[in-house]
């Protein structure tokens, strides 16, 4: 009789322990998750013309790089990037390649009246890298400088870090870098919009 009581007591203790585990497991990830902020999509339109001495881009090459950078910085997936002012044929470096950009970027939701369509957003640390090869990346030095001057201010950012050792017609590997925290939408919300 005493053995049965001990077994029942042990099983009751283990059952109580198992039932309490979900609450322990649920508390830890919630506190570790990045805080979510309320933001709204803001439309932006601009023209970007690259002017540099070291690297030369075709209009399509610049278009591809700019599209990647805009998405990296948190532009909504339905952005539109088109060639602008290009005089050279496809794949040929252009003296002044340009792109016209239409995009939506996140801005903090205004205080007071609730926004019409709030979006859950988080701060994300981004390093603008245009090429994996250090030599080609060194050639992007002037482009990264111009992205910092003309493109980055279009986004909601904080903790911007920038270093540049650009010397015209010279390559300096690792000499130029751009990092910032940008306000970005939750990936599931942006993917859902892109599939529409």
171 within domain boundaries: yes
Residue-level pLDDT at 24:
33
Instruction: Give the per-residue pLDDT at 148.
Output: 94
Q: How many domains does the chain have?
A: 1
Residue 14 located in a structural domain: no
Domain that holds residue 94: 37-194
**74 against 116, higher pLDDT:** 74
Q: How far apart are CA 143 and CA 177, in angstroms?
A: 11
At 24, is the secondary structure helix, strand, or coil?
helix
Q: Dihedral (C-alpha) 160, 63, 137, 122: value to the nearest 10 degrees?
A: 30
Rounded to whole angstroms, the Cα distance separating 119 from 40 reads: 6
Q: What is the pLDDT of residue 135?
A: 63
Write down the mean pLDDT value for the chain. 77
Mean pLDDT of 172-191: 76
For residues 92-115, give the mean pLDDT.
85
Q: What percent of the chain has pLDDT over 90?
A: 42
What is residue 179's predicted lDDT score, i.e. its pLDDT?
A: 93
Tell me what percent of the chain is helix, strand and coil, each rounded to the nearest 5: 35, 30, 35
Q: Is the pLDDT of residue 10 over 80?
A: no
Which helix (H) or strand (E) is 52 found in, with range?
none
- Over 80: is that where the pLDDT of 77 sits? yes
The answer, yes or no, to whether residue 157 has pLDDT greater than 50, is yes
Q: What is the pTM of this model?
A: 0.72
Residue 7 included in any domain:
no
The Cα–Cα gap between 135 and 138 comes to 5
Per DSSP (E only), the strands in the chain are: 37-49, 80-84, 98-108, 119-127, 157-163, 177-185
Which has more confidence, 80 or 10?
Answer: 80
Report the alpha-carbon distance of residue 28 to residue 33 in Å, rounded.
Answer: 9
% of the chain exceeding 70 in pLDDT: 67
Gap between the Cα atoms of 74 and 88, Å rounded: 30
Residue 2 has pLDDT above 60, yes or no: no
- In a domain, residue 2? The reply is no
CA 154 to chain centre: 13
- Is residue 105 in some structural domain? yes
Is 29 inside any structural domain? no
Specify the pLDDT at position 37.
Answer: 83
More confident residue, 91 or 17: 91
- Domain membership of residue 20 (yes or no) is no
- Mean pLDDT along residues 4-15: 42
Does residue 22 form part of some domain? Answer: no
Q: What strands, in cross-sheet order, belong to the sheet with 177-185?
A: 80-84, 98-108, 37-49, 119-127, 177-185, 157-163
């Amino acid at each position: 009789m005493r053995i049965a009581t001990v077994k029942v007591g042990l099983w009751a203790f283990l059952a109580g322990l198992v039932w309490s585990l979900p609450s322990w497991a649920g508390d830890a990830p919630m506190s570790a998750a990045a805080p979510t902020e309320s933001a709204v999509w803001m439309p932006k339109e601009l023209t970007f013309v690259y002017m540099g001495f070291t690297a030369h881009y075709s209009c399509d090459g610049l278009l591809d790089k700019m599209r990647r950078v805009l998405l990296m910085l948190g532009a909504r997936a339905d952005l539109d990037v088109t060639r602008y002012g290009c005089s050279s044929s496809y794949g040929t470096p252009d003296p002044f390649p340009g792109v016209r950009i239409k995009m939506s970027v996140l801005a903090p939701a205004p205080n007071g009246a609730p926004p019409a369509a709030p979006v859950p957003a988080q701060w994300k640390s981004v390093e603008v890298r245009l090429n994996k090869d250090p030599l080609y990346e060194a050639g992007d030095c002037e482009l990264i400088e111009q992205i910092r001057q003309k493109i980055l201010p279009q986004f909601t950012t904080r903790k911007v870090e920038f270093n540049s050792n650009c010397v015209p017609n010279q390559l300096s590997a690792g000499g130029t870098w751009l990092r910032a925290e940008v306000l970005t939408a939750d990936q599931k919300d942006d993917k859902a919009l892109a599939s529409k």
